[in-house]
Amino acid sequence: MNTVFKTVKASKVTISELMLPSHTNFSGKIHGGYILSLLDQIAFACASKFSGNYCVTASVDTVDFLNPIEVGELVTMKASVNYVGKSSMIIGIRVEAENIRTGVVKHCNSSYFTMVSKNIDGSNALVPGLILSNLDEVRRFYNCIKMIAVRKEKQKHEEIFDFKSDEALSNLNNYNVQVAIS
């Protein structure tokens, strides 16, 4: 275990960007894929700043699109380390969009990226421990512990669930699906 510890505050990164017409999808809203690209960039910046190493994205644990983002809005992303393991970190990111004319700010997205710190040779690098300075940081840390447990339970379920059984196949009749296996 690493004996170096850093505060959550030491990991914080904020970026803002004006949304342009070139960022839109076919419905005229800002494309979710463009936002995902920005999320990955800020997750990298936050994790690398905290760990002092190059970091890679291991998984995108949650991306909740809550409100559409319009052309001309100022999007601000705030990221911080919510959890640390040996070489991994969970980065929490909040996305807000501000209507520059009215000043109205809306919460548009919440995301969690798992990032892994790497040494120059590509092996995993230890990350500093995390100093939790307030109860909100403690809450976020515990939420990440729960998120990890759910992910492990899901993986375990996928390994042992017999989707070929008669019971599993007949259970599909409860859904809007037809099974046509020959």
User: Do residues 36 and 63 lie in contact, with contact meaning Cβ atoms separated by under 8 Å?
Assistant: yes
Query: Per-residue pLDDT tens for 1-55?
Result: 567 999 999 999 999 999 999 999 999 999 999 999 999 999 999 999 999 999 9
Query: What local confidence, expressed as pLDDT, does residue 161 receive?
Result: 80
- Mind listing the domains of the chain with CATH numbers? 5-131 (3.10.129.10)
Q: How confident is the model at residue 180 (pLDDT cuts 50, 70, 90)?
A: confident
User: Do residues 48 and 88 lie in contact, with contact meaning Cβ atoms separated by under 8 Å?
Assistant: no
User: Do residues 181 and 166 lie in contact, with contact meaning Cβ atoms separated by under 8 Å?
Assistant: no
What secondary structure does DSSP assign to 36-62, as a single string? HHHHHHHHHHHHHHHHSSEEEEEEEEE
Q: What's the chain's Rg over C-alpha atoms?
A: 20
User: Do residues 131 and 6 lie in contact, with contact meaning Cβ atoms separated by under 8 Å?
Assistant: yes
Query: How is residue 103 written in tokens?
Result: 């000043």
Strand partners, 5: 129
CB atoms within 10 A of CB 13: 21
Q: State percent of the chain over pLDDT 70.
A: 99
Which residues have C-beta within 8 Å of that of residue 137, sequence separation ≥ 6?
A: 8, 82
Q: What does the pLDDT average to over 168-181?
A: 88
How far apart, in whole angstroms, are the C-alpha atoms of residue 11 and residue 117? 14
- Of the candidates 11, 4, 3, 152, the one whose C-alpha atom is nearest the C-alpha of residue 83 is 11
Task: Decide if pLDDT at 61 tops 90.
Answer: no
